[in-house]
Amino acid sequence: MSVTHPPLRRSAFTIVELLLVVAILGVLMSLVLIGVGSLDDSAMSTTDLARQRQIALAEGKYAAANDSRLFHPRTAPVESGIFGAFPNTYEVLGNPEELEQDVTNRLWVRAYNDSGNQRLEGLDGGAYQVELVKAFSDGAAWEYLDGNADTYRSPLDPTRRLRSYAINSYIGVNVCADDHYFGENPPMPFASVFVKYAVPTQTMMHIKQPSRTMCTIGEDDPGIGGGPPGHNGHGFMMHPNQKGSDFAAFQTWIDIPGLWNPGVINISHMDGSTESIKLSEPNLYDKLDSNNDGVPEHWVIFDGPDIQALQKRLLPGVLEYRSEDDLPD
């Protein structure tokens, strides 16, 4: 005798179950998107480090081909009478023509217009200027970077500038940082750094600790007096030795690093190695935006572990870091 069973009925999902499934799918999608974003940031940071490494290695190649001399960190010749009626570096040393030619030959980028050469372009009605590729191709680094303009720009840089990187202002100079020399009576308090730390570093032999000495860094130059981000002018500069809150004039971020990579600042060293310096101040960008206009300014006074970390990498083994000799006279 056969037994007939009633057909099985498939029970439908309840509203609660459907809502739970939708919520789980939403969480999973969020995790996927976060993961993809993190991978993108990581990939761009890796490319950023690779490009800075290429510039550091180009320094070595240039030095090998030019009697150990290094790129000059400036992006234009030293102007006569800068910051007032003070003699420029060349005139102070007594052989202006020879030094001017030497520095011009070694400019890694030529970000200035001269007769028959347009290397800068005005944007937003001339409100600020950005470099053209010719600023790179006329510079000393171009052939050692295989003529690749992409190498000058960080994929992390959100601005319209073509060049994101600056060279350490203490590297490759004849007299002092960026070769801004003000004589014995500098017009501004910070300028004593250029007299007190007058250290020539024209050649690789002057770099005592290349594996710890900064070569390049991403810079976010707001332009003189603030405003839209223009091209990065000259080398990356800051006072090398800061003593703390009692010496406010020496706590200044003269130049602003590119804070585009969350939590870190990428740099290259003179030996071609790279480093990601972890930031201790999570809101450093806001701290350096003293006008609260969304753009960090020059000359912002803000001390702490982050500025100290960069100072230690300016010229280690040559400039003493936070020594008693660094006290202002």
C-alpha separations of 238 from 49, 191, 256, 294, 299 in Å: 22, 11, 9, 22, 9
User: How many residues in the chain?
Assistant: 329
Mean pLDDT by 10 residues, the chain (329 residues): 58 72 75 56 92 98 96 83 46 68 92 89 75 96 97 93 94 85 47 61 93 96 60 85 49 83 94 96 82 74 84 84 48
Residue 80: the pLDDT is 47
For the chain, give the mean pLDDT: 79
User: pTM for the full model?
Assistant: 0.80
| 122-127, long-range: CB < 8 A, 24+ apart | 123/160, 123/228, 124/228, 127/227, 127/228
Report the SS3 class of residue 189. Answer: helix
Domain ranges of the chain: 17-326
In 3D space, the residue among 11, 54, 253 whose CA is nearest the CA of residue 141 turns out to be: 54
- Residues 127-139, buried b or exposed e (16+ Cβ, 10 A)? ebbbbbebbbebb
Q: How far apart are the first and last CA of the chain?
A: 114
Residue 82: the pLDDT is 40
Residue 97: the pLDDT is 74
Cβ within 8 Å of residue 20, ≥6 positions away: none
Half-sphere exposure of 47 (CA within 13 A, CB side): 15
The answer to whether residues 310 and 214 touch, using CB atoms and an 8 Å cutoff, is yes
Residue 291: the pLDDT is 76
